[in-house]
Amino acid sequence: MTTVTYSVPNISCGHCVHTIQTELSDVAGVQSVKANQDTRIVEVVFDAPASEEKIKALLSLIDYPVAA
């Protein structure tokens, strides 16, 4: 199991948190998603077939890209 933490500057409200958690939870292999609107941090715990590339790509697709 892998845990990654991303800074996501576009998080501004509870709806953002809900959207991120809902969308990422649907990715095969993702075990848990915790998004925080105050710190704008997203923590994802996952196993294969999920990958950092897939997670980052989905975040970008739903308009919550990871900070560089």
How many Å is the Cα radius of gyration of the chain?
11
Helical H segments across 1-68, by residue range: 14-25, 52-61
Distance CA 59, CA 57 (A): 5
SS3 5: strand
Distance CA 11, CA 6 (A): 12
State the pLDDT at residue 4: 98
> Please, what are the domains in the chain?
2-61 (3.30.70.100)
State the pLDDT at residue 68: 78
Tokens coding 55: 């997670």
State the pLDDT at residue 36: 98
State the pLDDT at residue 20: 98
* Mean per-residue pLDDT of the chain: 97
**In the chain, which stretches have pLDDT less than 50?**
none
State the pLDDT at residue 30: 98
